[in-house]
Structure 1
Amino acid sequence: MTTTLLVFTDLDGTLLDHYSYDFSAASNALSSLKTLGIPCVLNTSKTYAELLELRQALHHKDPFIVENGAAVYLPVNIRLDTDENLIARENFLIKPFGPDRKQLIELAQAMKSRYDFISYHELTPEQLVEHTGLDSHSAELSLKREFTEPLIWNDSNIALERLKQELASEGIKLQKGGRFVHLMGQNCDKAVAMAWLKNAYQKTFNIAVTSIALGDGENDVGMIKQADIPVVVRSPVHVPPEIPGRNDVWITDSYGPQGWSEAINQALIHEGFI
């Protein structure tokens, strides 16, 4: 590894267009990262199944983080010193941070009588298409979750806060994303997974790593706050989230992948790569 920069990026609304899921506006910046040997870690709410196909389209060879920080996937050819026994699957080593999804589904079912929501496992691919705009194949892949259970929340914000407090004592948390409320283990967090992976790179290569994190939603706040270079990518559907404790946040002028590209290029200049 010849660089001290490590990119962590959200996907929907950030690297991928909020409406079309297109990333062509970011293609040149992605190519620049590859040419410079700078890892670009996908840090997303998407599933392992979704990312297998998306990584092919992106020609992505770096580690990735699934289901809002629930697990880190390391390609087996990337040897990182983690001092942990990781789970081997196909061409990856996996570091999980949360419980199995089956446990979360059981918990969601127990809450149905007191709160108004639709659990992800109850949706058909057709219903998910209607709710998200995904095509039918992508919707099927999205339903193949392993560590989290998204909810379509139809209840009040007050009820959501009440439920958050109830679940905290059980080591489970609710995290609000762009379209869903995500039910997950207490330690599942984009920021936690980012910190773990950054530390692994630093330890393996014995260098100081500068992290840049890019996201557009509330579930990206922790990741952005913790990054050395914090970037909020402007969204066409909501105002930029506030990043507590940071007065150095970059907020892009453009939306989605165009804004993402602008921020990456700015970071490469800022860090002396171009």
Structure 2
Amino acid sequence: MTRLLISTDLDGTLLDHHDYSFDAAEPMLQRLQTLQVPCILNTSKTFAELEPLRRRLGHSDPFIVENGAAVCVPADTALGRAMTPLERMGGYRYQCFGPERSDILERLRQLSGEYRFRGFADLDVEALVDCTGLDPAAATLALQRQFTEPLIWEDSDEALTRFAGALAESELQLQRGGRFVHVMGHCDKAGAMRWIARQYQSLWDEKVLVMALGDGENDVGMLQQADIAVRVRSPAHEPPEVPGRNDVRTTERQGPEGWYDAVEQTLRELDL
């Protein structure tokens, strides 16, 4: 028997690009809970941001934070109870894949004289609100990072290439998101997605079929490695190229409307 697992980006995918609404997707989220299909939030957002958002979504499945830097599993679930060797953070078991943010900030400080950029550590709440359209409470949570540092890049594309090379010397990498470039360790959404899929396969003792949905460049690895890959159409940019795949689906509708359509199609195909 095969079990379905969904790994989804948030901003621009499950959440509307402009107002972060998920109203169009909410009925499908409820249906997935009824079907006991885990919906893994796989995002650049922080743990602090996801706590209130998960309450709004009614979300009780594991989630992946800061572009694959860590996986958090609710400790009171069957999967969480199977993971007692992992460290505990509040009500979660978690697995980290990257360095601490303090190490990243030290390297960025060393490079700040050579390149023009501003990191979240350089912004206050008001500045982040201006950049993102988040309300002040949400912006406050977005600044509470643990494993990565988003940057507003203010230099040339050529400089960005050189900057990425300098980071690589310190075993750090750049990932492009919808609004920012993210400095992080050698981890990504794809690796975290594979890790959580293996945990479910072990728990269920059944084959896991992974569906991934995303809209940005930092979703490409996740889409490459999913069994079912869906690019959710964005109002802000063209769907990203997914090298090595000729079977990637692209939604007709944008954001959470397109997300709903894609998940509904998959459930129909799997007769769920």
Provide TM-score, normalisation by structure 1: 0.96
Distance 1:137 1:102 in 2: 23
Question: Which residue number corresponds to residue 126 of structure 1?
Answer: 126
CA offsets 1:85-126 (integer angstroms, 9 cap, x no match): 422011000100011111111111111100010011110000
Paired-residue identity, %: 52
Question: Which residue number corresponds to residue 174 of structure 1?
Answer: 174
Matches within 5 A, 1:70-219: 70-80=69-79, 85-186=85-186, 188-219=187-218
Structure 2 unpaired stretches of 5+: none
Cα contact 1:82–1:200 (8 A) shared by 2: no
Question: Which residue number corresponds to residue 260 of structure 2?
Answer: 261
Distance 2:245 2:153 in 1: 30
Structure 1 unpaired stretches of 5+: none
Cα contact 1:3–1:37 (8 A) shared by 2: no
Cα contact 1:119–1:150 (8 A) shared by 2: yes
Cα contact 1:101–1:145 (8 A) shared by 2: yes
> What secondary structure sits across from 1:13 in the alignment?
coil
> What secondary structure sits across from 1:27 in the alignment?
helix
> What secondary structure sits across from 2:258 in the alignment?
helix
> What secondary structure sits across from 2:129 in the alignment?
helix
Cα contact 1:64–1:72 (8 A) shared by 2: yes
Q: How far did 1:84 drift? A: 8.4
> What secondary structure sits across from 1:4 in the alignment?
strand
Q: How far did 1:268 drift? A: 0.3
1:8 aligns with 2:3: no
> What secondary structure sits across from 1:272 in the alignment?
coil
The 10-residue stretch of structure 1 (131-140 or 78-87) with the greater mean CA deviation from structure 2: 78-87
Distance 2:114 2:46 in 1: 28
Distance 2:2 2:248 in 1: 23
Provide TM-score, normalisation by structure 2: 0.97
Deviant stretches of 4+, over 6 Å: 81-84
1:99 partner amino acid? P
Cα contact 1:68–1:189 (8 A) shared by 2: yes
1:152 partner amino acid? I
Distance 1:90 1:157 in 2: 41
Q: How far did 1:79 drift? A: 3.4
Distance 1:254 1:83 in 2: 38
